[in-house]
């Protein structure tokens, strides 16, 4: 079962069963297209991206063969909008499996959230953030959808909903967590608490499994910590800005400072996403770099120690993909 990465450069996606041998493809997007995110629901893979002012989505049942891109999502994310790698899979209030993406709908856009049950047909999910602001990331856990972003008002930079529905915008209520003082960039659910990556190098963790509970914070992470992945007891954090080239390991996630930090990158300017493959206890970080440069993807099975040799660069990726912005592993 493959690991699939998406990004920019000579190819738009690559897949591998062992992180050693890779195959490459382009989705059928135009040469200028940028892939913004990918997720796997166990039965369906979905990727989103844009080419100029048009947004696309494509689906696959195996992670290797993809459908002709659909531009249906462009009705929500308009020509003045954009998407980051903010795409995830979860469930709506009725237990239906759904894909949710968050970004910027643009000045004429109807939403900063898009929802789909099939990865092709999308409906609006409302505007958790003010008209001229945007979502940076999203995650589902414990019956909650949480979206984080820049709202123009820090107290509404982390929003949650318990009634997201594939019926769309009219039935969805977004509520602020109300405890944050800066824009937020990353979010993940550990299985018993929420982790939020916030501006100025903060990693917040909730006191309970509800996103509207009280939060405590750690510092010493990248200035804009958008890439967060965790198990129930540990987390790896990356991002952009100050300390962009470092990956930080927290165990437990409530520790006051990282257990260790290691520079897994040299030329990339940010870490976009981190994935954890549970059967092999492997952490994989995808990064923005240059074609032929260093470390656009690296992996580790040794975050307990996380020495400078614990992260392995995948050289074949460097020569085929300029910037890796998304990753999904088979469930």
The CATH number given to whatever domain includes residue 92 is: 2.130.10.10
- What the block records as the tokens of 170 is 């009219």
pTM, rounded to two decimals: 0.91
What pLDDT score does 307 carry? 47
Confirm whether 269 is domain-assigned. yes
- How confident is the model over 63-120, as pLDDT tens digits? 999 998 898 888 887 655 667 668 999 999 999 999 999 987 666 556 789 999 999 9
Mean pLDDT, the chain cut into blocks of 10 residues (331 residues total): 79 86 79 77 90 85 90 77 80 95 70 92 86 84 94 82 87 86 92 92 92 88 88 87 76 79 62 87 80 66 57 74 83 73
Q: What is the pLDDT at residue 290?
A: 52
Q: Which of 173, 121, 111, 184 shows the shortest CA–CA distance to 147?
A: 184
CA 174/CA 211 separation, integer angstroms: 12
Residue 236 lies in a domain: yes
pLDDT at 108: 54
**Confidence at residue 155, expressed as pLDDT on a 0 to 100 scale:** 77
C-alpha 86/C-alpha 36 separation (Å) is 7
Q: What token pair was written down for 299?
A: 């992996």
* DSSP helix/strand/coil, 280: helix
- Find, among 239, 254, 134, 249, the residue nearest to 193 by Cα: 254
Query: Does residue 135 belong to any structural domain of this protein?
Result: yes
- Residue 172 included in any domain: yes
Q: By the 8 A CB rule, do 197 and 186 touch? A: yes
Can you give the residue range of the structural domain that contains 96? 49-61+71-313
Could you tell me if residue 200 is inside a domain?
Answer: yes
Please count the structural domains in the chain. Answer: 1
Q: In angstroms, rounded to a whole number, what is the distance separating the alpha carbons of residues 90 and 220?
A: 30
- Please report whether residue 184 resides in a domain: yes
Please name the residues in contact with 11: beta carbons below 8 A apart, sequence gap of 6 or more. 24, 25, 26, 320, 321
Whether residue 270 lies inside any domain: the answer is yes
User: What order do you get walking across the sheet with 144-150 strand by strand?
Assistant: 134-141, 144-150, 158-161, 175-176
Q: What is the pLDDT of residue 308?
A: 44
Residue 232 lies in a domain: yes
DSSP strand pairing (297-300 vs 282-288): antiparallel
């Amino acid at each position: 079962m493959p690991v699939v990465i998406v990004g920019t450069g000579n190819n738009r996606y690559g897949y591998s069963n062992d992180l050693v041998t890779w195959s490459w493809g382009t989705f059928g997007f135009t040469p200028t297209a940028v892939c913004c995110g990918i997720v796997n629901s166990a039965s369906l893979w979905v990727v989103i991206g844009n080419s100029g002012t048009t947004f696309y989505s494509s689906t696959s049942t195996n992670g290797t063969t993809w459908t002709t891109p659909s531009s249906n999502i462009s009705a929500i994310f308009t020509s003045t909008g954009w998407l980051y790698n903010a795409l995830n899979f979860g469930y709506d209030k009725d237990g239906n499996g759904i894909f949710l993406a968050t970004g910027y709908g643009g000045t004429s856009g109807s939403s900063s959230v898009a929802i789909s049950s099939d990865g092709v047909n999308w409906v609006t999910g409302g505007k958790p953030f003010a008209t001229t602001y945007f979502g940076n990331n999203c995650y589902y856990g414990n019956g909650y959808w949480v979206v984080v972003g820049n709202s123009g008002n820090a107290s509404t930079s982390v929003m949650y909903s318990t009634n997201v529905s594939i019926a769309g915008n009219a039935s969805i209520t977004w509520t602020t967590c109300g405890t944050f003082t800066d824009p937020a960039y990353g979010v993940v659910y550990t299985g018993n608490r929420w982790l939020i990556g916030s501006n100025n190098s903060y990693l917040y963790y909730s006191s309970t499994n509800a996103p509207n509970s009280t939060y405590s914070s750690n510092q010493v992470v990248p200035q804009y910590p958008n890439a967060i992945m965790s198990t129930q007891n540990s987390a790896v954090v990356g991002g952009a800005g100050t300390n962009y080239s470092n990956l930080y390991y927290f165990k437990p996630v409530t520790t006051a400072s990282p257990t260790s930090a290691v520079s897994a990158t040299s030329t990339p300017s940010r870490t976009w996403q981190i994935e954890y493959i549970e059967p092999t206890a492997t952490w994989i970080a995808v990064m923005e770099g240059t074609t032929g440069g260093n470390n656009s993807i690296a992996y580790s099975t040794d975050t307990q120690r996380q020495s400078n040799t614990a992260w392995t660069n995948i050289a074949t990726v460097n020569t085929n993909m300029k910037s890796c912005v998304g990753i999904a592993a088979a469930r």
